């Protein structure tokens, strides 16, 4: 007859085997669901890199498809994509770090730092630029069809210097503004005495160990493990990696990968870069931008809804999403080197697989 202690050991082992089997079944179902969601990126097509973080641990970290079609280079965890407007959270963070240092105030008039702007900009503050409530004109609409070469952040300023008009009075409305974030990059340079890529590298990327992340300037440092952007053309794909807007840094010029963005995500939970007040400003509800299909606000470089923070990035050849559920310590990053689709809905669907409200087998 088996001893009572042996029975208990057997029961404990049985329970462990059963629970492990359930976990393995759930993990398999979840991975199968992810592969279905990511199917369009798989194979000999422009691809994507996917990261799922839970409690600071990478549960999914993998690439799909190709980073470089011409040379058959697979997308992976170290593939660097142009972040497009996901870059805005880094530009906002740079301004907030300078405010945290006391080098500037987010309520400074922008003309304290960029005095060449016309009189109509007198009432615009850095806060307005950060929250897209400045009313400054879109530089894309000011360039004209005959523009030669790529515009840079300083070129955006030059265009706005000639326009003594706004879309609306500063602070009265919300309108998403790439121009505003180009101006913020120039403010960072004026207030820090460093060029924008160097400030990002010195104050954000290096301290966090984001070794492969950079604000890309043609003729400067190469992008390591670079993904090239593509657009669908007929039944195939054509490389569409850059256009006339792609050299503006403040609104979208940063390249990064899912490995480095895991480090960026971690920085929002600790004090390595930001104090509590700075974090609250960046992720706070600065201005409401939508009520349908859900109430949504803009922080400083982040969109915010109940329980969720995110930003998408769209530029020629790239579509990206970074979504955080901070109360659940869950983050999904999905970076892709193709012109369509924006992967936000896919990122939400992948996040739902890890939110535990619905058992994986019933999704």
- Number of helices (H) and strands (E) in the chain: give both, helices first: 12, 15
Query: Would you say 244 and 276 are in contact if contact means Cβ atoms under 8 Å apart?
Result: no
C-alpha 61/C-alpha 222 separation (Å) is: 24
C-alpha 72/C-alpha 122 separation (Å) is: 52
Query: Would you say 112 and 181 are in contact if contact means Cβ atoms under 8 Å apart?
Result: no
Q: Is position 85 annotated as part of the catalytic site?
A: yes
C-alpha 89/C-alpha 41 separation (Å) is: 26
C-alpha 276/C-alpha 274 separation (Å) is: 7
C-alpha 35/C-alpha 11 separation (Å) is: 36
Q: Enter the tokens of residue 242.
A: 């850059």
Pairing of strands 214-215, 254-256: antiparallel
On the 0-12 / 13-18 / 19+ scale of CB atoms within 10 A, 346 is buried
Cis peptide bond upstream of 293, omega within 30: yes
DSSP string, 299-317: -SS-EEETTEEEEEEEETT
85, 87, 179, 192: which is the annotated catalytic residue? 85
CA distances from 199 to 29, 190, 205, 220, 254 (A): 44, 11, 9, 15, 13
Query: Would you say 78 and 97 are in contact if contact means Cβ atoms under 8 Å apart?
Result: no
Pick the closest to residue 195 from 94, 316, 65, 279 (CA basis): 94
User: Residue 330: left if φ>0, alpha if ψ -120 to 50, beta else—which one?
Assistant: beta
Residues labelled as active-site residues: 85
């Amino acid at each position: 007859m088996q001893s009572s202690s042996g029975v208990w050991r057997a029961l404990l082992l049985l329970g462990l085997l059963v629970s492990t089997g359930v976990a393995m079944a759930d993990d398999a179902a979840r991975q199968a669901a992810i592969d279905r969601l990511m199917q369009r990126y798989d194979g000999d097509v422009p691809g994507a890199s996917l990261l799922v973080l839970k409690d600071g641990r990478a549960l999914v970290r993998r690439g799909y498809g190709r980073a470089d079609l011409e040379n058959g280079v697979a997308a992976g965890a170290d593939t660097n994509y142009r972040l497009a407007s996901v870059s805005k959270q880094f530009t906002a963070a740079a301004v907030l770090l300078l405010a945290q240092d006391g080098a500037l105030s987010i309520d400074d008039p922008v003309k304290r730092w960029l005095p060449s702007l016309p009189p109509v900009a007198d009432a615009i503050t850095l806060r307005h630029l950060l929250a897209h409530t400045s009313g400054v004109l879109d530089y894309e609409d000011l360039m004209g069809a005959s523009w030669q070469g790529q515009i840079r952040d300083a070129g955006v300023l030059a265009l706005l210097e000639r326009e003594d008009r706004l879309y609306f009075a500063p602070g009265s409305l919300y309108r998403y503004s790439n121009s505003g974030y180009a101006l913020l990059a120039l403010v960072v340079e004026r207030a820090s005495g460093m060029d924008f890529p160097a400030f990002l590298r010195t104050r954000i990327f290096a301290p966090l160990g984001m070794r492969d992340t950079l604000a890309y300037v043609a003729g400067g440092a190469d992008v390591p493990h670079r993904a090239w952007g593509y657009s669908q053309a007929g039944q195939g794909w054509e490389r569409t990696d850059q256009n006339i807007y792609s050299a503006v840094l403040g609104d979208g010029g940063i390249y990064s990968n899912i490995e480095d963005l895991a480090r960026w995500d971690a920085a929002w939970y600790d004090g390595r870069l930001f104090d509590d007040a700075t974090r609250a400003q960046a992720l706070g509800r600065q201005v409401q931008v939508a009520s349908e299909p859900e109430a949504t606000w803009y922080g400083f470089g982040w969109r915010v809804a109940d329980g969720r923070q995110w930003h998408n990035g769209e530029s020629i050849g790239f579509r990206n999403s970074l979504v955080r559920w901070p109360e659940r310590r869950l983050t999904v990053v999905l970076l892709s080197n193709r012109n369509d689709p924006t992967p936000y809905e896919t990122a939400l669907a992948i996040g739902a697989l890890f939110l535990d409200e619905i058992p994986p087998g019933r999704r």
